[in-house]
Structure 1
């Protein structure tokens, strides 16, 4: 292109359009807010602000926006666009109240604020996991266990949450190394719950190496759930989650079996982390969960926080995880085709957002973000953090998301303080460049902590964001399956019924 032609095009581009160019009265319909995404070279999906979607041939979005769509030529598509609130025959849609109600339903989690309260009851641990995100210690419980005073203040903080349904989750380190403190905390919470009108769920996160009948009988009496880690078959789990002088896998499986025997099959859950070693074995990992009697698996990539990525062997590209995820999901769908109900839980969360009017309170896929709104963390030393991930950053002396201290600050100072106010300016994807115009934003979320950890900026830059790249491709892939594979679509839809 020669210089004169370039200058002419540049001037044409920079000129303001005539008012008539934006006149919605042209044509027989008015546009309502929606966007599109190409799910492959032949198909695109239209998605509006409340998550309604339509699969259409490529180029349809452009014809709709240019007012080239004719009701006479394509009556079925026209009616679909009307009924799903993509276009309206009136300048103000008569369904605006319905749309507003559905939008409020999507954001209902904001009415009740924080539900998950994580108590890092001890930093001590007897494992040496390859991807551990915190600096674990093995001794000095007075220094590395949460004090009773901090436990009291944490419970007092939890009781002030507007949410009547709260979860008290005990983490470590290895939480069972401070089991007496857990019992103290549960007893204290049980005494205060009826006074504050709270329904409390209790969860202990443990590697199960220390579990025994006495602990499990206590859990049964007090309705405490067990959450553990299982990274796959023995040759994967033991490499990822090393315990000196014995097999971590053997202890975990033994602990799962004993926990199920005493508590009940569904009172024990497991979570896996995809290490670089795990990437080679998607089918084997899925098979392990299925063979151990779980009803599903959560395919979780490694988190870029704390000490987890201190060595090169723990790092891998987003594309590598996505390849792992798709191979694993293919195996999961095969299991379902064989007549077994078995889910992938990250996909299930996204599918709930796509296929229902409701929102699952999963921290990583909320807008406004789940940090503070959905979860808050009380560290062993009394420090309060916005999320578990921000606590992990603090292990590397980065206190950007430290909100205060249980013994020094009030609930109001922490929840409504200056740092929370600063975070709140970037926690809604509807206001972020690169997110606000994305068709998938209603299914996705915002994560200022991830932005800070990976890009050094809480606002973030979507084009090279691993968080964005992973979520966009998973959402696109699931939509493609819903569109082109009838059998897979039926299976995916059955997961949320």
Structure 2
């Protein structure tokens, strides 16, 4: 029998002794991670999202205790590392309470629990968008409208949210096909909000093709916001968002103008969905938004749900192609800002707020814990309750993994604190997910178990092959590298995260 040596060496040990991290002279290490952003530079990021861009190899020098404040070339770096909680003169920083307060601030989106309540008021739609994520049905099928019973039950559940400020968002299909149900829901909610002391924000998501003067006046009287879809110039929009015997692009433009005239420019927003066709025209899409007077644009990739999965020639593309599109569009947006026209890209703005400020963001996809349940809940037209809008889209593909219950059958406690919610909570925190736990961009990103399940068949997901991970890591890296390279662009980016509408 061969004898097995029990002798260990420095080369075979996986971890150093605990004492090595406490007794090393010079300074103590605080938790931080790093990522190379270019051949010459790397970024250091600590637990609260503070970052420093440094020459490549700096992280190794810090860990080896080679940063010496008595060396004039290291003095500024040493001061920055101390001030930004990367290292400490003692194992326990003197300002540990400041660090804790800032961490709590980053996670304060959890303080009041669920805010966004989506009511799928109808699954009917008169458009035939080839990327439709909810598998809409034709306009004559009234059984796909939400019943008043389910509307009432959804409102009652919304009123039980501990959040004093909630949003009631009407989606479809095409929500305006069930306009009378929107009116019913708003009037009912106004009465219930008075009883429960809630402040309610109302949003209608619509393609605007069916918009009437009566509808706009009702929106105005009730402070209802309008969100629509605009995929760019007519030759792109009409291809993406087809409406039989009609010019979908002209209808949405007319609707935007009508809504702005009555509701005000700040109360009308639009979203881009990027198809294969869109990828060829990044500058033209941005130009169209500027032509129409928009001051923000949200560049988002196609989602892998509903009809979008059936039209692969029009909707499926590599992440690298989207990133190329995104960077070209972002360059166009930046150029407009340099020339004096303020317009921001919303996805970049969300990430930049996480990078440059101590404050949380309300965007579900970039939260940890993930925003499903804790930030958003969806009441489907048939009374089914889902953990997020994407979970509802997945259900239309006959996958009920993220169904939490049914309106009128399950209590608030069963939905929000039941077994399904508890199970999901275990995969909603990127600080504990493999591949995320050691990522330098962890505090700027989020967890998305619905996307992981849909694309990889696993709630946790596999980061090296995840398009969610690939896309976010590159956008975050690119934004940091761009700010470091060009201070004028950094000023532009900082202007995007102010309260300017």
TM-score (norm 1): 0.97
CA offset digits 1:242-288 (Å, max 9, x no partner): 00111100000000011111111111110110011100000000010
Question: Partner of 1:155 in structure 2?
Answer: 155
For 1:101 and 1:229, the matched residues in 2 are separated by 39
Pairing 1:62–2:63 present: no
Alignment of 1:384-423 (within 5 A): 384-423=385-424
- C-alpha distance in 2 between matches for 1:197 and 1:236: 45
1:340-355, aligned counterparts within 5 Å?
340-355=341-356
Instruction: State the match for 2:202 in structure 1.
Output: 202
Q: State the secondary structure of the residue aligned to 2:239.
A: helix
CA offset at residue 21 of structure 1? 7.3
Where in structure 2 are there 5+ consecutive unaligned residues?
none
CA offset digits 1:29-55 (Å, max 9, x no partner)? 000011111000100011100011111
Aligned position for 2:445: 444
Question: Does the 8 Å contact 2:203/2:224 carry over to 1?
Answer: yes
- Determine whether 1:42 maps to 2:40: yes
CA contact (8 A) 1:259 1:268 kept: yes
Counterpart CA distance in 1 for 2:487 and 2:379 is 46
Distance 1:279 1:93, change over 3 A: same
Give the count of matched residue pairs: 491
Looking at structure 2, the residues matched to 417 and 14 of structure 1 have their Cα atoms a distance apart, in angstroms, of 46
Pairing of 1:231-310 with structure 2 (within 5 A): 231-310=231-310
User: Structure 1 residues 57 and 120, CA, compared in 2 at 3 Å: closer, same or farther?
Assistant: same
| Superposed CA offset, 1:413-437 (max 9, x none) | 0111111111100100000010011
Deviations 1:330-353 (A, max 9, x none): 000000000111100000000001
The two structures, once aligned, show a CA RMSD in angstroms of: 1.6
Tell me what 1:425 maps to.
426
1:425-475 superposed Cα distances (whole Å, 9 cap, x missing partner): 010000001001111111110000000000000011111111111000000
Change (3 A) 1:139 1:344: closer
Separation in 2, partners of 1:346, 1:394: 26
Q: Secondary structure at the match of 2:168?
A: strand
Q: Is the 8 A contact 1:307 1:396 kept in 2?
A: no
| Contact 1:304 1:453 (8 Å CA) reproduced | yes
Partner of 1:4 in structure 2? Answer: none
The answer to whether the 8 A contact 2:131-2:306 is kept is: no
1:464 paired with 2:462, answer: no
Contact 2:134 2:393 in 1 (8 A): yes
* Equivalent position SS for 1:19: coil
1:304-342 deviation line (CA, Å, top 9, x unaligned): 122212122110011110000000000000000001111
Q: 1:129: how far off?
A: 0.2
CA–CA separation in structure 2 for the residues paired with 1:417 and 1:160: 16
Measure how far apart 1:140 and its partner are: 4.5
Moved more, 258-267 or 58-67: 258-267
SS in 1 for 2:309: coil
Partner of 1:334: 335
Residue 33 of structure 1 is matched in structure 2 by: 31
- Aligned equivalent of 2:318: 317
Correspondence 1:356 to 2:357: yes
Contact 2:208 2:252 in 1 (8 A): yes
Give the TM-score normalised by structure 2.
0.96
Match of 1:98 in 2: 98
2:279 and 2:142 map into 1 onto residues whose CA distance is 39
The structure-2 alpha-carbon separation of the partners of 1:18 and 1:333, relative to structure 1 and needing over 3 Å to count, comes to closer
**Which residue number corresponds to residue 436 of structure 2?**
435
CA distance in 2, matches of 1:45, 1:24: 25
